[in-house]
Amino acid sequence: MAGSSRRRVVVSGRVQGVFFRDSVRRHALDRGLAGWVCNREDGKVEAVFEGAPDDVEALVAFCRSGPEGAAVEGVEVGDEEPTGEQGFSVR
């Protein structure tokens, strides 16, 4: 998708049970991004953001600190080819 960016992030630290997923969802919707966010069994949060490059980068930046109550220890970021994903969901 021309002009579109897609990035996958995996966030580690105290990121489950602190409204991380819902905070990411709200920020993504505010910026018109598509994708999803989920808790992983290993205690990390994984998300995919797709949309305008500046908005995607803003969500990646948010994940580096997270919502109040989170204690982010690490963020792995990878680029992916946009797929034309629609909507944003919490899985």
Residues serving a catalytic function are 21, 39
Q: How many CB atoms lie within 10 A of CB 73?
A: 11
| Backbone region of residue 32 per phi and psi (left: phi > 0; alpha: psi in -120 to 50; beta: other values) | left
**19 contacts 67 by C-beta, under 8 angstroms:** yes
Give me 83's structure tokens. Answer: 């797929």
